[in-house]
Amino acid sequence: MKVLKKITILKDKCVGCGLCVNSCAFNAISMKSSKAVIDYDKCTLCAACAGACKFNAIEIEKKAGFSSVISLNEAKGVWIMAEQKNNKLQPVSFELLYKARQLADELGTKVTAVLLGSNVKDEAQCLIWRGADQVIIVENAELTHYQSEPYSVVIEELAKKYKPEIILAGATTIGRSLIPRLAIKLNTGLTADCTGLEIDKKSGLLLQTRPAFGGNIMATIVCKNHRPQMATVRHKVFQEAGEDHTKKGVIIEENIDTALFNSPRSILKDIVEEIEETINITEADIIVAGGRGVGSEENFKIIEELAKVLNAAIGATRSVVDEGWIPYSHQVGQTGRTVCPKIYIACGISGQIQHLVGMQSSKVIIAINKDPHAPIFNVANYRVVGDLFQIVPALTKKLKNSPNHNI
């Protein structure tokens, strides 16, 4: 969303220091006769140059009407968008509560969980036990299943009424559909797919960290001038908030004018449950993952066999996915899924940082690698140095022969 209309160099103030030239990542500024000149064909209106200029020589013209719906000084509280499926809370809601609680405690404010559905009252108490100070519920038949239009208009109305300072949602299919719509409606910014969230001690701003430029750098983004500060968070990056049955909170039932749902542009006709032939890696308790050391698509059968006997999901490194040995949905790591199973068995995986960031919070890591110096061993709880083609089939056979194994 471009919020700026134009950037202009004020020639009378420009001293020709070149700071703006260095700050421009798009090579859109050059010096001519000791004055900065902008090439508007290259300029993306990112405004980095204005921030770099120490002489107020760069003027920014903002688009008319781009002001926050919620002003900076009235915004208070941390919100999470609780997700439900068939009126049952989804685990990502508890991960959001874990982080929201930390952020709210640092800011000295409340955590509010927003829950939409048609019969969700019974779930509200659980959100309080997991850390919410208050839960706002909205029940309506139209809200039984997630639909972008009714959900976004309802939450827009709630946000305008309660004015949250921060809104967090899961970077799930629902969160990725809902939150950008909401950010547009509230005229504010959004950082998608965050892997880290902190409060800046000095400014109190939300520091939103996410991989950028294809995962080569981690960018920390702030939303200085608009509220709420909004972020989606990768599933399984944060742990789930535990339950405290002594915790008290307030449940607010909001009635929303059903006229808001009139004339939708899309209608939900049917819900088709996803059919997974294998176990979803983000939900799995055990993952058996293969890397380039497995050698070929054909050889991946030994990984599949071990996974089958353990009732485990199959993970993979990017190298293996790039080779076409297994689909992308199995990729673990920075540009794949983040997983946190009870047991992660890494077979023929070297343990490069881009893979480790996606699996190193697994409870127990077992690594099988023929190189005793492989970096995967630095994060492994159990290190098996040897040839995976001997070890993996032997393990599968052993487990098959002891059907009552309790790994």
Q: Which residues bind ligand FAD (CB under 6 A)?
A: 214-216, 291-293, 317-320, 331-336, 348-350, 352, 354-355, 358, 368-371, 374, 387-389
Supply the minimum distance, in Å, between the C-beta of residue 380 and ligand FAD. Answer: 12
Supply the minimum distance, in Å, between the C-beta of residue 387 and ligand FAD. Answer: 5
Supply the minimum distance, in Å, between the C-beta of residue 24 and ligand FAD. Answer: 24
Please tell me what DSSP assigns to residue 133.
Answer: S
Residues 6+ apart with CB under 8 A from 93: 80, 82, 83, 84, 113, 127, 130, 170
Decide whether 81 or 303 has the Cβ nearer to ligand FAD: 303
Decide whether 249 or 291 has the Cβ nearer to ligand FAD: 291
Decide whether 152 or 369 has the Cβ nearer to ligand FAD: 369
Supply the minimum distance, in Å, between the C-beta of residue 353 and ligand FAD. Answer: 7
Supply the minimum distance, in Å, between the C-beta of residue 231 and ligand FAD. Answer: 21
- With vertex at residue 189, the alpha carbon angle to CA 187 and CA 195, rounded to the nearest 5 degrees, is 150
181, containing H or E segment: helix 173-185
User: Contact 342/272 with Cβ under 8 angstroms?
Assistant: no
Decide whether 77 or 336 has the Cβ nearer to ligand FAD: 336
Q: From its phi and psi, is residue 133 left (phi > 0), alpha (psi between -120 and 50) or beta?
A: alpha
Residue 163: closest CA among 251, 85, 73, 48: 73
Residue nearest to ligand FAD (CB): 333
Which DSSP string corresponds to 284-314? -SEEEEE-GGG-STTTHHHHHHHHHHHT-EE
Supply the minimum distance, in Å, between the C-beta of residue 207 and ligand FAD. Answer: 22
Decide whether 220 or 352 has the Cβ nearer to ligand FAD: 352
Q: Please, is 93 exposed, middle or buried when counting C-beta atoms within 10 Å of its C-beta (0-12, 13-18, 19+)?
A: buried
Decide whether 151 or 300 has the Cβ nearer to ligand FAD: 300
